[in-house]
Amino acid sequence: MIRIDPVYVSAIIAAGGRGARFGGDAPKQLFMLGGLPILQRSVEAFLRSERVDEVIVALPAELAAAPPAYLLNRGGRLQVVEGGLRRQDSVARAFSRVAPRADLVVIHDAARPLVSEALIARTIDAAVISGAAIAALAATDTVKRGNADGVIVGTLPRTEVFLAQTPQAFRAEVLREALALASAMADATDEAMLAEQAGHAVSLVEGERTNIKITTSDDLEMAERLIAARVPQFRIGNGYDLHRLVPDRPLVLGGVTIPFEKGLDGHSDADAVCHAVTDAVLGASCLGDIGRMFPDTEAAWKDADSLVLLTRAAAAVRAAGYAVVNVDVVVIAQRPKLASHVDPMRSNLARALGIDPLRVSVKGKTNEGVDSMGTGESIAVHAVALVTGT
């Protein structure tokens, strides 16, 4: 197949349902799979793809109003929209938000978190040529047709039977025509069905057996086994920073300005917590350190907000194919007391890293009067980060 690059590709992640067949109080897309939420795995697959320019995620109303941290601060490449009652309603709402210059739109079920970048690319290539394409698996079993009484009434030629998956990709004008039929259909099971009804030919792209759809708890167990069978890529990084305390400077730690008579001395805002965490996540990903990425010889970083620097470092980590699992931070300061500021620090760090605050630990310790930390001349921070390939 000849690859023809479209001008602009938008991806829609359909995550507006609640997964009633899966059970549980929370939507199934929020359940954990291999240490990460199902939804995060699906979204990250498309954000990593070099073929995708933007991602629009359709969520249930309450999630759209307060999206998970990993859907925030994605450099303008990701939008969240409120989904509808039916799948086609959610897709239509997301489609209304794609960039006007979008040439092609890829739609993917959030419940298929193991989709590969290769499958995304194959589906895009096919749709660029034919106008519409879906990933699908050829049936390998004999396919029977039965009636309501459970009696076989025919055998279908399995060479003509394909099991549809996502991603499904469409030229923007093809999808627009297909979605125009959605209101007239009670419940379309996928966008390819609508495209067929609109008179468009839909190409088949070879899918992947590992691209399973998580519908029941058994499916989740199977997905866990598939992930466990892969070679794990866990990496640990250490970060350390120390700044002198000086008069006439604000004291900023973890993005929180703390009332105190002194502040930390440095080229940026001298936020030692953010600096240590930045070094930890960069180190775990073998991306250097904060001094290399944001050198203090450049005026651009003078008095810079270190939360912004951490956000940019986290984006570089994701671009390298890793996701931050958790961070643990120890702040060594004789004064001031930090207990009342820990939770705001955790929230700020989580937002910058794109993870849940429950995955961020911040602890304050004194140095028992020993060395510069113990005499109130400086503050030091140690941080450890765990990242994993996704």
Q: Using one digit for the tens of pLDDT, what is the confidence trace for 19-45?
A: 656 656 678 899 999 888 999 999 999
pLDDT over threshold 80, residue 336? yes
Give residue 21's pLDDT. Answer: 60
User: pLDDT by residue (tens digit) across 156-188?
Assistant: 998 899 999 999 999 999 999 999 887 666 677
State residue 379's pLDDT score: 96
- Which pLDDT tens digit goes with each residue over 114-162? 999 999 999 999 999 999 999 999 999 999 999 999 999 999 998 899 9
Tell me: pLDDT of 2 over 50.
no
pLDDT at 23: 58
pLDDT of residue 19: 60
Check residue 199 and give its pLDDT.
92
362-369 average pLDDT score: 94
- Which pLDDT tens digit goes with each residue over 187-231? 778 899 999 999 999 999 999 999 999 999 999 999 999 988 876
Q: What is the pLDDT of residue 35?
A: 83
pLDDT score of 64 more than 60: yes
Q: Domain residue spans in the chain?
A: 9-229, 234-389
The string of pLDDT tens digits covering residues 278-318 is 999 999 999 999 999 999 888 888 989 999 999 999 999 98
pLDDT of residue 118: 95
The architecture (CATH level 2) of 9-229 comes to Alpha-Beta Complex (3.90)
**What is the predicted pLDDT for the residue at 18?**
66
pLDDT score of 279 = 97
pLDDT digits (tens, 9 = 90+) for 201-213: 999 999 999 999 9
In this prediction, residue 116 carries a pLDDT of 94
pTM (2 d.p.): 0.68
What is the pLDDT at residue 22? 65
- pLDDT surpassing 50 at residue 378: yes
Q: 234-389 in CATH: which number?
A: 3.30.1330.50
**In this structure, which amino acid lies at residue 302?**
K
pLDDT the model gives residue 184:
67
Q: Residue 54 above 50 pLDDT?
A: yes
